[in-house]
Chain A
Amino acid sequence: MPKTESKDKAGEFQVVSFKVDDKQYAIDITKIIEIIYYKKATPLPQSPEFIEGVVDLRNRVIPVLDLKKRLQLLSKTDRRPNHILIVRVHDKTIGIVVDEVQQVLSVDEGQIQAPQHIFKGTGSKHLRGVCKVNEQLLFILSPDTLLSGDEQARLEGI
Chain B
Amino acid sequence: MRSLFDFIVRRLEYKILSLILIVLIISFTGIFFIMSSKERKNFIGDEREKSKLVADTIHETLDRDMMAFRADVVRFLMEDLKKLEGIKRIQIVRGDAAYVGEGRGRDKAFMDFKTLDDVKKRISTLYKPEWERDHPDLKMNTASGTDNPEFRNYLDQTVRVLSDTALAGTQEDALKRGLLDAVYSEEIDGVSVMTYLRPLPNFPKCALCHGAEHRLRGVLMISTSLEGMNAALKQSQWYLFLASLTTVAVLIAFLRFLMRRVVLTPVNNVVGCVKDIAEGEGDLTARIAVNYQDEIGDVARWFNKFIETLHRIIAQVSRTSKQVKTVSQEVLIGTQQIEEGSKIQMQSVETTAGAVEAVNASIHRVAANAEALSALAEETAIAILQMSSSIDEIARSAAVLSSGVEDSTASILEMSSSVKQVDESVVSLNKAAEDTAAAMSEMDMSIKQIRSNVMDTVQLSKGVTEDAERGRRATEMTIQGIGRIQEYSQQVNAVIQNLKTRTESIGKILNVIDEVAEQTNLLALNAAIIAAQAGEHGRSFAVVAQEIKELADRTATSTNEIHEIIRALQDESKNAVLAISRGTKSVAEGVHLAGEAGSALEKILESSKQSTDRIQEIARATEEQTLGVKHVADSMQHVTDMVQQIAHATHEQFKGSELIISSTEKMKDVASKVKNATQEQSIGNKQINEIVERVSRQVKEIAQTTGQQAEEGAHILKAVARIKAVVEQNVDTIGKAGRAVEELMKQATRLSAEIDKFKL
Given contacts A1-B550, A6-B539, A103-B549, contact A35 B526 (CB under 8 A): yes
Mark out the residues of chain B between 544 and 564 whose CB falls within 8 Å of any chain A CB in the assembled complex: 546, 549-550, 553
B532 touches A104 (CB 8 A): yes
Contacts of A103 on B, CB cut-off 8 Å? 525, 549
The reply to whether the CB of B522 lies closer than 8 angstroms to some CB of chain A is: yes
B529 touches A16 (CB 8 A): yes
Contacts of B134 on A, CB cut-off 8 Å? none
A35 touches B536 (CB 8 A): no
Mark out the residues of chain A between 34 and 80 whose CB falls within 8 Å of any chain B CB in the assembled complex: 34-35, 37
With both chains docked as a complex, state the minimum distance between the C-beta of B534 and any C-beta of chain A, in angstroms: 11
With both chains docked as a complex, state the minimum distance between the C-beta of B25 and any C-beta of chain A, in angstroms: 141
Chain A interface extent, by class: 10 to 19
Contacts of B522 on A, CB cut-off 8 Å? 35, 37, 83, 101
B528 touches A104 (CB 8 A): yes
Contacts of B528 on A, CB cut-off 8 Å? 14, 16, 29, 104
Q: How far is the CA of A14 from the CA of B539 in the complex (A)?
A: 12
Q: How far is the CA of A1 from the CA of B532 in the complex (A)?
A: 20
The reply to whether the CB of B729 lies closer than 8 angstroms to some CB of chain A is: no
**Inter-chain residue pair count (beta carbon < 8 A):** 44
Mark out the residues of chain A between 118 and 135 whose CB falls within 8 Å of any chain B CB in the assembled complex: none
B533 touches A29 (CB 8 A): yes
Partner of B525, one of A6, A8, A16, A30: A16
A6 touches B542 (CB 8 A): yes
With both chains docked as a complex, state the minimum distance between the C-beta of B73 and any C-beta of chain A, in angstroms: 120
Closest chain A residue to B523, Cβ basis? A35
Considering residues B530, B532, B542, B553, which has the most beta carbons from chain A within 10 angstroms of its beta carbon? B532
Q: How far is the CA of A55 from the CA of B553 in the complex (A)?
A: 28
Contacts of A6 on B, CB cut-off 8 Å? 532, 539, 542-543, 546
Partner of A35, one of B525, B546, B553: B525
Given contacts A6-B539, A14-B532, A30-B533, contact A101 B525 (CB under 8 A): yes
Contacts of B550 on A, CB cut-off 8 Å? 1, 3
B549 touches A34 (CB 8 A): no
The reply to whether the CB of A20 lies closer than 8 angstroms to some CB of chain B is: no
B526 touches A34 (CB 8 A): yes
With both chains docked as a complex, state the minimum distance between the C-beta of B751 and any C-beta of chain A, in angstroms: 181
Q: How far is the CA of A64 from the CA of B135 in the complex (A)?
A: 130
The reply to whether the CB of A32 lies closer than 8 angstroms to some CB of chain B is: yes
Mark out the residues of chain B between 506 and 529 whose CB falls within 8 Å of any chain A CB in the assembled complex: 522, 525-526, 528-529
Closest chain B residue to A28, Cβ basis? B532
Contacts of A34 on B, CB cut-off 8 Å? 526, 529-530
A29 touches B532 (CB 8 A): yes
Partner of B539, one of A3, A8, A33: A8
Closest chain A residue to B546, Cβ basis? A104
Closest chain A residue to B524, Cβ basis? A104
A interface residue numbers (CB < 8 A to B)? 1, 3-4, 6, 8, 14, 16, 29-30, 32-35, 37, 83, 101, 103-104
Question: Could you jot down 19 A-B contacts, CB within 8 Å?
Answer: A1-B550, A4-B546, A6-B532, A6-B539, A6-B546, A8-B536, A16-B525, A29-B529, A30-B532, A30-B533, A33-B529, A34-B526, A34-B529, A35-B522, A101-B525, A103-B525, A104-B525, A104-B529, A104-B546
